[in-house]
Amino acid sequence: MFEKLTVIAPGLLGASIGMAAQQRSIAKRISVWARRAEARQVLESKDWCDEAPPSLKDACSGSSLILLCAPVERINELASNISPILDSNPIVTDVGSVKGKLSRHCHSVLESKGRFVGSHPMAGSEKTGMENADANLFEGNTCFVTPLEETDSSAAKSVSDFWISLGANVLQESPERHDAIVANVSHLPHLLASSLANYLSTTLPAAAKFCGNGLKDTTRIASGDPQMWLDIIVQNRPEIIRSLDALQNEIQSLRTDITNEDYFTVFGKLAKGKAFRDQLDP
Amino acid sequence: MFEKLTVIAPGLLGASIGMAAQQRSIAKRISVWARRAEARQVLESKDWCDEAPPSLKDACSGSSLILLCAPVERINELASNISPILDSNPIVTDVGSVKGKLSRHCHSVLESKGRFVGSHPMAGSEKTGMENADANLFEGNTCFVTPLEETDSSAAKSVSDFWISLGANVLQESPERHDAIVANVSHLPHLLASSLANYLSTTLPAAAKFCGNGLKDTTRIASGDPQMWLDIIVQNRPEIIRSLDALQNEIQSLRTDITNEDYFTVFGKLAKGKAFRDQLDP
């Protein structure tokens, strides 16, 4: 059990972590820091939050584990901000969905003050905000933990154990390998869903009338927050471009098979896609 | 109420129609014809099936409404087969997911023997077969009814009313317009989901480990039956190629914006995709 857990910038993820940690008795005390006074007022009323001080220093003081839960583009700045005020050599982690540059930056600014180990719980949702927080958000979902080669391995283990105690399935990968993986399994699906929705909104504005479950499923994640996704694109641009190009090749190859009426090959592709999907949970 | 309803070649859709028609008292008698003796035996035990004769002529004799529920590529043949044996000038419809050529063929072979009006209930599922039938399958889902200009308008109205009584939202469109619409809202999402699954199965065979809800949603329909989807591709090839090309342009344009770091435009596209998806049911 951690003596003190600090959640910084609670949105959906930060608040869900706080709730989950309290319900599972993972920390003796949970301190939460939010920038806005209104958010701090809301926090005071939450049973999972023991204190919500206005000062970042107070929130971090004496902490054993600090979670930076801001959107990915603000994490580097937060790490720089907390570095000079840490007094307890805490473990520091984050929930950013892109890990390469971020991990190196945080590791370097926190060195000697705290031990940084990046995390990425894959438990987002179209919904955002503290009001949608859920103590079971991480249960059964993947959480990446992305130490660098030079990261203290006991700190990496503590962070992994923390996510496991919240119910997540932890995978350790290097930050760079993580970024290539999520470009393929998360960012690419989002951009496809968004492109399909975008295309239909122009070609067939009344598509809602004709919409079956297939279209609903395939475009669901296009409802995600545009600013959050833009930030992800900015952070993981080279890997995303690589994934988009590879998928374009795949679609173009299918298009060629259909044009050539090479139905043997088309059938093979449909069957291979089905085999892949069938091994995932429904 | 129809005196006699005939369901030909019951799979998921035909059996669901039979169940729904019985529960909602839409026909006095329901006759079902299946090619295989084992299927007829199963049918004899179903409370929604009044008779399952081995002869197609007996199943159709005296019928007021005949539903051709075979896969899309077998409907033309079934229409040709029943034409000479009809004795009651029934209304004939089908559930095929492509309508252009099929509607003209069925209209022409049935002329003077029966009145053909094409239908396409958008209520498929990754599941197939009579064992997955559901009396509420059509409830709240779109069903296209696709009369030709020369189709008897009272027959078109009867078919529309039939689907409405099963709970569907009916849309009347020409067969050609229908085919362009479903290429965009149904066939294109399927080919995208399949291409994404296919690509990942090669690039990241262990993707199941990293899979979040976004990927699950976006690829769900790739689990559909490859043979059924191949038949749809064969039937609706020109419209499908047109849709694939248009979507490729959309993706390529997004790729260019990302490459150029034109994030203002990227944000606009994400926001437009979100606005489109937000107007659909969850």
Tens of pLDDT along B267-281? 999 999 999 999 998
**DSSP label at A221?**
G
- CATH number for the domain spanning A130: value is 3.40.50.720
* Separation between Cα atoms, residue A219 and residue A197, nearest integer Å: 6
Let me know whether A35 and A155 are in one domain: yes
Let me know whether A44 and A123 are in one domain: yes
Closest C-alpha to B165, from B26, B69, B12, B68: B26
Let me know whether B113 and B232 are in one domain: no
pTM: 0.83
Which pLDDT band, with edges at 50, 70 and 90, does A211 fall under?
Answer: confident
Structural contact between residues B85 and B66, judged by C-beta atoms closer than 8 angstroms? no
Distance of alpha carbon B70 from the chain centroid? 11
Q: Is the pLDDT of residue A126 over 80?
A: no
Domain stop point among A173, A208, A230: A173
Let me know whether B154 and B22 are in one domain: yes
Let me know whether B6 and B137 are in one domain: yes
Mean pLDDT score across all residues of chain A? 95
Residue B126 has what pLDDT?
62
Residue B124 has what pLDDT?
67
Burial class (CB in 10 A: 0-12, 13-18, 19+), A174: middle
Helix extents (H) in A111-184: 153-165, 175-182
For testing contact with chain A, the best of B122, B128, B145, B200 (most A CBs within 10 A) = B200
Domain stop point among B115, B146, B173: B173
Quote the percentage of chain A above a pLDDT of 90: 89
Query: Are the beta carbons of B192 and A192 separated by less than 8 Å?
Result: yes
Which pLDDT band, with edges at 50, 70 and 90, does B58 fall under?
Answer: very high
Contacts of B224 in chain A (CB under 8 A): 274
| Nearest residue in chain B measured CA to CA from A212 | B122
- CATH number for the domain spanning A224: value is 1.10.3660.10
Strand partners, A143: A121, A170
Q: Is the pLDDT of residue A114 over 90?
A: no
Beta-carbon contacts of A242 under 8 Å, excluding residues fewer than 6 positions away, are A180, A183
Let me know whether A77 and A167 are in one domain: yes
Burial class (CB in 10 A: 0-12, 13-18, 19+), A261: exposed
Let me know whether A37 and A169 are in one domain: yes
Let me know whether A246 and A270 are in one domain: yes
Predicted ipTM of the assembly? 0.85
Q: Is the pLDDT of residue A192 over 80?
A: yes
Q: Give the mean model confidence (pLDDT) for residues B239-247.
A: 98
Structural contact between residues A274 and B223, judged by C-beta atoms closer than 8 angstroms? yes
Which pLDDT band, with edges at 50, 70 and 90, does A208 fall under?
Answer: confident
Q: How far apart are the first and last CA of chain B?
A: 35
Mean pLDDT score across all residues of chain B? 95
Contacts of B266 in chain A (CB under 8 A): 230, 233
The Cα-based distances of A278 to A92, B190, B193, B216, B221 in angstroms read 38, 15, 13, 10, 10
Q: Residue B2 region, left (φ>0) first, then alpha (ψ -120 to 50), else beta? A: beta
Q: What are phi and psi of B145, to 5 degrees?
A: -120, 125
Let me know whether A188 and A80 are in one domain: no
**DSSP label at A184?**
I
Query: Are the beta carbons of B247 and A199 separated by less than 8 Å?
Result: yes
Structural domain containing residue B220: 177-278
**DSSP label at A132?**
G
Residue B125 has what pLDDT?
62
Beta-carbon contacts of A167 under 8 Å, excluding residues fewer than 6 positions away, are A20, A136, A138, A139, A140, A141
Interface A-B, measured as beta-carbon pairs within 8 A, has a size of 286
pLDDT in tens, A60-106: 999 999 999 998 889 999 999 999 999 999 999 999 999 999 999 99
Tell me the nearest-neighbour CA distance from B115 into chain A, angstroms.
26
Domain stop point among B138, B158, B173: B173
A54, two tokens: 């206005």
B30, two tokens: 């329901």
| Number of structural domains found in chain B | 2
Q: Which residue has the higher pLDDT, A164 or A126?
A: A164
Quote the percentage of chain B above a pLDDT of 70: 99
Q: Which residue has the higher pLDDT, A127 or A198?
A: A198
Let me know whether A136 and A190 are in one domain: no
Closest C-alpha to B56, from B33, B84, B30: B33
Structural contact between residues B21 and B28, judged by C-beta atoms closer than 8 angstroms? no
Query: Are the beta carbons of A276 and B200 separated by less than 8 Å?
Result: yes
Let me know whether A164 and A223 are in one domain: no
Let me know whether B181 and B164 are in one domain: no
Q: Give the mean model confidence (pLDDT) for residues A131-151.
A: 94
Q: Which residue has the higher pLDDT, B125 or A171?
A: A171
